[in-house]
Amino acid sequence: MSIYSNWTNYVVEYVKENGEPAFWKEYAKVEKSIYTKALAIDGGVISGKFSELVKEFDVNEIYFMGFLDGINESIDKELNLEAIESDSEVSFKIDYEKLYFNMLDSKADYLYTLSQWDRIFSPEKRKEIQKTWRESKTVINEVKVGRNDACPCGSGKKYKKCCGK
């Protein structure tokens, strides 16, 4: 069984036994610790054997796989998580803008408010990313023409008697 399968099974079992809020409370502590260390790495390049990275970040294999699962959309080239074993070489570069955006998207305020972000982005850049994120969530509805409204083609007729047929 792969480490990724162990991670997904762990999440399912933990949620069954303790509930989803308890899982997120537990995992948030570990995730915050990992991101604090990951954001401090110059250039955002993380590489090494999986087992060595687990020791470096001071977590167990299952939680580190959870970290990789979460950050996988925010790196230069996505990892094949199913293929990762303890002795696998893992190497990736964090796309900080994408990561910050995804943290906003997942509503992980305990992550996007970490002080390590101050070293990576200026306050203006963070506000710009937040603005882009808010704009991406804004729904714009098209104006619908009612059957008794004037036809948008400009004929002067009611829509139902003109283009609405």
- pLDDT, averaged per 10 consecutive residues of the chain (165 residues), comes to 87 89 87 84 83 86 87 85 85 84 82 79 84 80 85 89 85
Contact 90, 50 (CB under 8 A): yes
The three-class DSSP label of residue 155 is coil
Q: What is the torsional sign of CA 117, 120, 122, 127?
A: negative
Structure pTM? 0.76
